[in-house]
Amino acid sequence: MFSESLPSTAPNADADLSHQSEPFRRIATEIGHVLVGQQQLVHRMLIGLLTGGHLLIEGVPGLAKTTAVASLAKSIQTGFQRLQFTPDLLPADLIGTQVYRPQDQSFVVQKGPIFSNLILADEINRAPAKVQSALLEAMQERQVTIGGETFPLEEPFLVMATQNPVEQEGTYALPEAQTDRFLLKVIVDYPDREEELQILRRMSKTAPKFEISPVTSPEEIMRARSQVDNVHLDPKIEGYIVDLVMATRRPAAYGLNLDGLIQFGASPRASINLALAAKANAFLQGRGYVLPEDVQELALDVMRHRVAITYEAEAEERTSESIIGEILQGVAVP
């Protein structure tokens, strides 16, 4: 069993990890001054911040998706840009363009709003594909090319995109090549009754005011990222991650009866991102090693947008979430 081979972790090492993760607990507390509930969303945003992985946040309008991301940005002393995606947005509006200067008869680069640290791509699926694709190089390569010249983006660089469900009118489904660039896809649901009462009492004012103070810096975030790299990932856990991803491609090899339900399985990015997210989850809990529970907690958010189901699955009212849940039940845990 995995529990028999846990790495020996000295108490002072655990204390150091707890100290290193303290800024992220401060961020969560600060966001809580504005946001009611949505602890899972806040936790996933912190994992994205720790790993440098981009987030796709989906939910119907009015669930505070934009508020959550804006609050995260305010709690960090760093650059922030909100981009409202619309059908008439152009790629140049995002990355910038070359501008002619008649006084010296030359072209100069005018950088776009993508040149910041935290980018809120609000309602990303309301823009056409050519604008969505303009994010690809920035998200994957951490650089932007304008007029044949390449400009690196300053770290930390993180895109958090919100979208309404694709069945909503006036939206465009994101292509698979772009959704695969997102570390996590987080589904935001309605608040429960108690949370809704808190929202009503807090927000039912003509001009509600909330102050969020910066509680950490980009330097602290980058230091924490280096600590995440040192979180121990046991070979058994590595094998477990690979088995979960492989089961989305060849479920029969794992004794799963999912024939005809999966159009294509998760890409190798799923394995990489699940390992990174599990390490970040362990770090946030002050642990220097990954447990199977870390992998299980994040597997759905890592893979739901990477597993495409068939028409037969839709006819049976199956979803990628239910199929991934069956895989989590069927693959042996170390």
With beta carbons less than 8 A apart as the criterion, state whether 162 and 69 touch. Answer: yes
What is the distance between the alpha carbons of residues 52 and 181, in angstroms, rounded to a whole number?
A: 11
Span 296-324, average pLDDT? 91
Residue range 98-112, pLDDT digits in tens: 787 788 877 777 888
Span 55-81, average pLDDT? 83
Same domain, 184 and 311: no
Same domain, 38 and 155: yes
In a domain, 10, yes or no: no
Return the pLDDT at 168.
65
**3 vs 87: which has the higher pLDDT:** 87
In a domain, 129, yes or no: yes
Same domain, 298 and 316: yes
In a domain, 265, yes or no: yes
Same domain, 134 and 196: yes
In a domain, 207, yes or no: no
Residue range 4-37, pLDDT digits in tens: 445 544 445 566 676 777 778 888 888 887 888 7
In a domain, 154, yes or no: yes
In a domain, 110, yes or no: yes
Cis peptide before 156 (omega within 30 of 0): yes
The DSSP output letter for 274 is H
Query: What is the CATH number for 317?
Result: 1.10.8.80
Same domain, 224 and 327: no
Return the pLDDT at 105.
74
The neighbour count for residue 83, using CB atoms within 10 Å, is: 23
The neighbour count for residue 102, using CB atoms within 10 Å, is: 6
Residue range 214-227, pLDDT digits in tens: 888 888 888 888 88
Same domain, 189 and 60: yes
Residue tagged 């429960």 (tokens): 192
**Nearest Cα to Cα of residue 279 among 310, 243, 241, 309:** 241
Return the pLDDT at 249.
92
Token readout for 124 is 């990303």
Residue range 167-181, pLDDT digits in tens: 666 677 777 777 888
Same domain, 225 and 81: yes
Same domain, 38 and 187: yes
Return the pLDDT at 4.
46
Same domain, 244 and 109: no
Write down the pTM of the prediction: 0.85
In a domain, 209, yes or no: no
**95 vs 238: which has the higher pLDDT:** 238
**CA distances (Å), origin 106, targets 102, 103, 112, 207:** 7, 8, 19, 48
The DSSP output letter for 254 is G
Q: Is residue 314 scored above 50 in pLDDT?
A: yes
What is the distance between the alpha carbons of residues 35 and 53, in angstroms, rounded to a whole number?
A: 22
Token readout for 188 is 């935001």
Return the pLDDT at 106.
77
Q: How many residues does the chain have?
A: 334
Query: What is the CATH number for 56?
Result: 3.40.50.300
Same domain, 185 and 244: no
With beta carbons less than 8 A apart as the criterion, state whether 247 and 331 touch. Answer: yes
Same domain, 134 and 181: yes
Same domain, 63 and 154: yes
**231 vs 66: which has the higher pLDDT:** 231
With beta carbons less than 8 A apart as the criterion, state whether 75 and 49 touch. Answer: no
Residue range 243-266, pLDDT digits in tens: 999 999 999 988 888 888 888 889
- What is the domain range of residue 145? 26-202+214-229
Count how many domains the chain has. 2
In a domain, 19, yes or no: no
